[in-house]
């Protein structure tokens, strides 16, 4: 097995590095094409989210592939050697499979049990399939990962009262104010994170939600779905005067809220407190606004305390999930180990069937006097004999591949039956 998983996530890399990577490492087919040019790599999946950038590869040359992938991340993330050493993780073979299963099952997420990551993995896989960068090995791993995620979600309570970074943001707002009833919230961005935040806000009794998005029609659509009010993106500075809480989650490459905007709003607000929660990567809100009086800014890493509380409450369910993942990794390894015996089994059966066919041809002088049904019965009998002869060797070969490694048995079979003879 030559499976490699290399990357960095919210556990290993601070926000500053993750947002630097996200600016240059989106889920872009160009990155897949670039990686597939490396002769050391046969298959690749590229996953980039706000909290992780990972490459899963099936390699021809493991050491060479790791070197190329390190250089790829180094170049696109504009990282220093020290940052690479500190932030990058590397998993091989069964540990790489285990890591992917944990990611797809949301065990490795900032907020354990959140549902978005599975959709993100599926999107990354869809992109890889569309651009022909996956084959037998990665296709099997990814489909297996989706089944594992389904088992974890249905057999454990890991996703009960499902949470996300958006949920954590709403929990933080609730913690600040005690109650959100009667508060005015401005959501900047109309993507999945904002939709989740809107849903949680409604559950907390919020009835006045303003939604700003660069595409106004999208803001209108979301406002209709969540009983909110769409507002033009260009009026953000004005809206900051009237709201209590801002939750921002856009895909903008630069800041959408700046110190001058906040300073102007605060003067009009007569110093009424303003809470800003930035859950975007790259960040939407200039960190300098936190220096302004009566303004409190929280970013995605500040949500970790809430996340930690959620993780503790789910730890028992997480243990069940880990047991499922261990079991499924074992099943995947069983399948993978049988791959080495498949060519020998096929060759062995083809040789046996070739011998029978040849002998039946030689017996044509007396078989020609038989009826067609009698000839067919003889062919069926010969096939049945082949199956009975091959049953024990094939079964034993598969068992050895699962338990001990079948290479010595493969070599012996190929020599004894002359399977490599030209």
Q: What is the CATH number of the domain that holds 39?
A: 3.30.460.30
CATH number at residue 236: 3.40.50.720
253-257's contacts with Cβ under 8 Å and 24+ in sequence apart are: 253/23, 253/282, 254/282, 255/283, 255/284, 255/285, 255/286, 256/188, 256/284, 256/285, 257/188, 257/284, 257/285, 257/286, 257/289
Instruction: Tell me if residue 50 is catalytic.
Output: yes
For residue 341, being part of any structural domain is answered with no
Angle, helices 407-416 vs 372-403, to 10°: value is 150
Q: How far apart are CA 194 and CA 188, in angstroms?
A: 8
Q: Say if CB 150 and CB 325 are below 8 A apart.
A: no
> Sheet of 52-59: strands edge to edge?
41-48, 52-59, 3-9, 89-92
Place of tokens 């038989």: 370
Contacts with 169 (C-beta within 8 Å, 6 or more apart), sequence order: 197, 247, 277, 279, 298, 303
Q: Name the residue range of residue 147's domain.
A: 3-161
In terms of DSSP bridges, do strands 274-278 and 295-299 run parallel, antiparallel, or are they unpaired?
parallel
Of 280, 304, 328, which marks where a domain is finished?
304
For residue 310, being part of any structural domain is answered with no
Q: Classify residue 211 as left (phi > 0), alpha (psi -120 to 50) or beta.
A: beta
Strands (E), 88-232: 89-92, 184-188, 208-213, 229-232
For residue 357, being part of any structural domain is answered with yes
For residue 201, being part of any structural domain is answered with yes
Which residues, listed in sequence order, are joined to residue 296 by a DSSP beta bridge? 275
Smallest Cα–Cα separation from 351: which of 275, 255, 419? 419
For residue 316, being part of any structural domain is answered with no
Are residues 74 and 182 both part of a single domain? Answer: no
C-beta atoms surrounding 147 within 10 Å: 14
Are residues 146 and 62 both part of a single domain? Answer: yes
Contacts with 283 (C-beta within 8 Å, 6 or more apart), sequence order: 15, 19, 255, 299
Structurally, how many domains does the chain consist of? 3
Q: How far apart are CA 18 and CA 20, in angstroms?
A: 5
Which two three-digit tokens encode residue 380? 């069926």
Are residues 287 and 400 both part of a single domain? Answer: no
For residue 322, being part of any structural domain is answered with no
Are residues 193 and 117 both part of a single domain? Answer: no
For residue 34, being part of any structural domain is answered with yes
Would you give per-residue pLDDT tens digits along the chain (422 residues)?
789 999 999 889 887 787 777 655 455 678 898 999 999 999 999 998 878 889 999 999 999 999 999 988 888 777 888 888 888 999 999 999 999 999 999 999 877 777 789 999 999 999 999 999 999 889 999 999 999 999 999 999 887 654 667 778 888 888 888 888 888 999 999 887 888 888 888 888 888 999 999 999 999 999 998 889 999 999 999 999 989 999 999 988 899 999 999 999 988 887 788 999 998 888 999 999 999 999 999 988 887 777 677 667 777 788 899 999 999 998 888 777 776 677 777 888 888 888 888 888 887 777 777 888 888 888 888 888 888 888 887 787 777 766 666 667 777 777 777 876 64
Q: What is the largest CA-CA distance in the chain?
A: 109
Are residues 63 and 99 both part of a single domain? Answer: yes
Which residues, listed in sequence order, are joined to residue 274 by a DSSP beta bridge? 295
Of 140, 161, 182, which marks where a domain is finished?
161
C-beta atoms surrounding 317 within 10 Å: 19
Helix (H, G, I), strand (E, B) or coil at 89: strand
- Our CA angle for 28, 32, 36, nearest 5°, is 165
Q: Quick one: 234 exposed, middle or buried, by C-beta within 10 A (0-12, 13-18, 19+)?
A: exposed
**Per-position DSSP letters for 209-250, written without gaps between them:** EEEEESSHHHHHHHHHHTT-EEEEGGGHHHHTTT-SEEEE--
Q: How far apart are CA 10 and CA 50, in angstroms?
A: 9
Of 125, 145, 161, which marks where a domain is finished?
161
Q: How far apart are CA 46 and CA 272, in angstroms?
A: 45
Are residues 25 and 124 both part of a single domain? Answer: yes
**pLDDT for 374:** 83
Are residues 131 and 187 both part of a single domain? Answer: no
Which two three-digit tokens encode residue 288? 């300098």
- The H or E element spanning position 3 is strand 3-9
- The H or E element spanning position 270 is none
Are residues 266 and 214 both part of a single domain? Answer: yes
Are residues 213 and 355 both part of a single domain? Answer: no
For residue 300, being part of any structural domain is answered with yes
In terms of DSSP bridges, do strands 52-59 and 3-9 run parallel, antiparallel, or are they unpaired?
antiparallel
Are residues 132 and 218 both part of a single domain? Answer: no
Instruction: Please identify which of the residues 6, 47, 50, 285 carries the catalytic annotation.
Output: 50
Are residues 249 and 395 both part of a single domain? Answer: no
Are residues 13 and 142 both part of a single domain? Answer: yes
Which two three-digit tokens encode residue 201? 């806000």
Q: Does the pTM of the predicted model rise above 0.75?
A: no
């Amino acid at each position: 097995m030559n499976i490699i998983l290399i990357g960095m996530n919210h556990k290993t890399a601070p926000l500053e590095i993750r947002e630097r990577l996200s600016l240059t490492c989106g889920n872009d087919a160009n990155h897949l094409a670039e990686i597939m040019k490396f002769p050391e790599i046969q298959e690749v999946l590229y996953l980039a989210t706000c909290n992780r950038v990972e490459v899963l590869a099936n390699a021809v040359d493991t050491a060479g592939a790791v070197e190329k992938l390190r250089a790829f991340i180094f170049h696109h993330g504009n990282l220093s050697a020290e940052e690479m050493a500190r932030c990058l993780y590397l998993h091989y073979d069964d540990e790489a499979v285990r890591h992917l299963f944990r990611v797809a099952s949301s065990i490795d997420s900032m907020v354990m049990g959140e549902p978005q990551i599975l959709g993100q993995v599926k999107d990354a896989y869809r992109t890889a399939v569309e651009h022909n960068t996956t084959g037998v090995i990665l296709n099997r791993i990814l489909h297996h990962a989706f089944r594992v995620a389904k088992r974890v979600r249905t057999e454990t309570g890991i996703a009960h009262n499902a949470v996300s970074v958006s949920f954590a943001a709403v929990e933080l707002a609730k913690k600040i104010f005690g109650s959100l009833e009667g508060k005015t919230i401005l959501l900047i961005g109309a993507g999945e994170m904002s939709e989740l935040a809107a849903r949680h806000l409604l559950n907390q009794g919020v009835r006045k939600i303003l939604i700003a998005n660069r595409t106004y029609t999208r803001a209108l659509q979301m406002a209709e779905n969540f009983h909110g009010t769409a507002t033009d993106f260009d009026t953000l500075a004005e809206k900051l005067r009237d709201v209590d809480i801002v939750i921002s989650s856009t895909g903008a490459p630069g800041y959408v809220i700046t110190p001058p905007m906040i300073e102007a709003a605060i003067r009009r607000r007569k110093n009424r407190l303003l809470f800003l929660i930035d859950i975007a990567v790259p960040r939407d809100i200039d960190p300098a606004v936190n220096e302004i009086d009566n303004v409190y800014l929280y970013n995605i890493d500040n949500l970790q305390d809430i996340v930690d509380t959620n993780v503790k409450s789910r730890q028992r369910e997480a243990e069940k999930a880990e047991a499922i993942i261990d079991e499924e990794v074992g099943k995947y390894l069983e399948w993978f180990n049988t791959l080495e015996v498949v060519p020998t089994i096929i060759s062995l059966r083809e040789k046996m069937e070739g011998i029978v066919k040849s002998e039946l041809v030689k017996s044509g002088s007396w078989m020609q006097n038989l009826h067609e049904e009698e000839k067919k019965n003889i062919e069926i009998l010969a096939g049945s004999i082949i199956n009975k002869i091959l049953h024990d060797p094939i079964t034993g070969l598969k068992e050895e591949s699962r338990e001990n490694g079948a290479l010595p048995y493969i070599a012996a079979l190929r020599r004894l039956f002359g399977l490599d003879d030209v």
